[in-house]
Every structure is written in C-alpha cells, then in structure tokens.
Amino acid sequence: MKSSEADNWPFDDEFASRLRGFGPVGLLAILVILAGNLVLAPLSALLVLAWAWRSRTPWREIGYVQPKSWTRDLVLGVVFGTAFKVLMKAVVMPLLGADPINHAYHHLVGNTNALPGMVLFLIVVAGFGEETLFRGYLFERLQKLVGTSAFARVFIVLLTAALFGVAHYPEQGLAGVQQATAFGIVFGTVFALTGQIWILMCAHAAFDITALAIIYLDLESWFAHLVFR
C-alpha cells in the first residue's frame, strides 16, 4: 500500500499489525478463515482476501501476482491440469491400489443437468477457493512462522499437502486423501518455486473439470486400466 493510502487509512495501524501477527487477534483470524468453508465454500477464500486487505498484507504474498501473459498462463494451466489428472487417474492412483470409481461423484455419470452447476462449482470453489486458501494463505502464514529457507519450503509444501489431503477425507475417503495429498505436493511445489497463484487456479479448475468429464462419460475404469491392465 502506498504511503498516501496509509495516511488516509481509517483504522489504526495496530489492528492491522495484530491481524498479521500470531497473538490472540491473529490466531482468531486464522481460525475464522479456516472455519469459513464449514459454513459455505468458498467463504474461506473470501475471508482470506478480506484479511489481506485489512491487515495490509501485500497481495503478492498470497500469490496474487499479475502474470506477464494472462492468456499464456491460462493455456499452460489448462494443459498442465488436464495432463496431471490423466496421469493421476491412469498411473498414480492405480499404483496406490485405489478403487477406479469415485463413488462420491458416480451419480454424475451421464447427468447432463448437473454439468453446468458442477463446472461453475469447480471453477469457483476448487480453482479460486482452494488455491487461495491452501496455497496462497497457508503458505503466507507458515512462511511467517518458519521462514523461507529451502528446508522451510519443503516443510510447508508437505504440511499444506497433508492438510489438503485430510480435507478431502469426509467426502472421498482414503482415495481422496491420497489423490489430494499428491496434488498438494505438486501444486505446492510449483507455488513455492513461482509464488504465483493464477496459473495454479487455472490448472486446478482444469484438473477437476477433466475429472468431471471422465466421470460423466463413464470412463473411470477405462482410464484406471489404461496402463495397468
């Protein structure tokens, strides 16, 4: 924030500092943000943006960096997300012994009426919401605690991946945890290296929309046995 904006800020600097810290106010903010999705997804992500604005945290610290080319990153994100989903479905998950069928979403097979709502949900809740929370916000908070050394970044990638995995257990069980943890390691590594979240939002949405297409077309078993018969 520019100095002229800071001079006109309607609240005292102390509250912003407390929001950025890890005292009672900062810890309460963390708990409220993490609990947001329990009320309605993607409330947590919206609370992250409100926290960043009010705490005067630079947007770049949560990954909101303007890319050199929006179009290029959109294309790269879609290609990467799609290819990564196919790799997970055809190679990684079979190696882990996962059930070829995602029973949590099997009702979407041939369900044309559900497609528009699901696509919107995946873009907003998964692409925007989960990336803002698990990569942008949690990386910023953890980096403030443990630093930005190579060891610290590895720790943050693994911890956020584990949290991302656990968050998928209630709906998708062990297979969901396995896939989400692997997903979190890959996406967390990219974010740790680039510090940019836009391309990950695109890739995340593409990953989930590809998963939706595979389910809708009833091709889960086909992909799961594509490499390992």
115-156 residue pLDDT tens? 999 999 999 999 999 999 999 999 999 999 999 999 999 999
CB 209 within 8 A of CB 117: no
Cα separation of the two ends of the chain: 57
Express each pLDDT in 199-216 by its tens digit.
999 999 999 999 999 999
Identify the residue with better confidence: 90 or 5.
Answer: 90
Residue 65 has pLDDT above 70, yes or no: yes
- Residue with the bigger pLDDT between 10 and 126: it is 126
Integer Cα distance of 133 and 158 in angstroms: 15
How far apart are alpha carbons 65 and 221 in whole angstroms? Answer: 39
The predicted pLDDT at position 176 comes to 95
pLDDT tens for 154-191 read 999 999 999 999 999 999 999 999 999 999 999 999 99
Q: Cβ(106)–Cβ(115) under 8 Å?
A: no
Q: Which amino acid is at 155?
A: F
pLDDT at 57 > cutoff 90:
yes
Task: Report the pLDDT value the prediction gives residue 229, as an integer from 0 to 100.
Answer: 76
Q: Please tell me the distance from the alpha carbon of residue 225 to that of residue 217, in angstroms, as a whole number.
A: 16
Confidence of residue 12 (pLDDT cuts 50, 70, 90): low
Distance CA 40, CA 22 (A): 25
Tell me how far apart the alpha carbons of residues 93 and 179 are, in angstroms, rounded to a whole number. Answer: 7
CB atoms within 10 A of CB 67: 16
Percent of the chain with pLDDT strictly greater than 70: 95
Output the six-digit token pair for 66: 């303007």
* Residues 78/212, Cβ–Cβ less than 8 Å: no
Average pLDDT, the chain: 93
Domain ranges of the chain: 3-57, 70-224
- Whether the per-residue pLDDT at 75 is higher than 70: the answer is yes
Burial class (CB in 10 A: 0-12, 13-18, 19+), 112: exposed
pLDDT given for residue 151 in this prediction: 96
Q: Is the pLDDT of residue 73 over 90?
A: yes
Is the per-residue pLDDT at 103 higher than 60?
Answer: yes
pLDDT number for residue 6? 44
Q: SS3 for the chain, per residue?
A: CCHHHHHCCCCCHHHHHHHHCCCHHHHHHHHHHHHHHHHCCCHHHHHHHHHHHHCCCCHHHHCCCCCCCHHHHHHHHHHHHHHHHHHHHHHHHHHCCCCCCCCCCHHHCCCHHHHHHHHHHHHHHHHHHHHHHHHHHHHHHHHHHHCCCHHHHHHHHHHHHHHHHHHCHHHHHHHHHHHHHHHHHHHHHHHHHHCCCHHHHHHHHHHHHHHHHHHHCCCHHHHHCCCCC
pLDDT digits 0-9 by tens, 13-27 = 899 999 999 999 999
Confidence of residue 1 (pLDDT cuts 50, 70, 90): very low
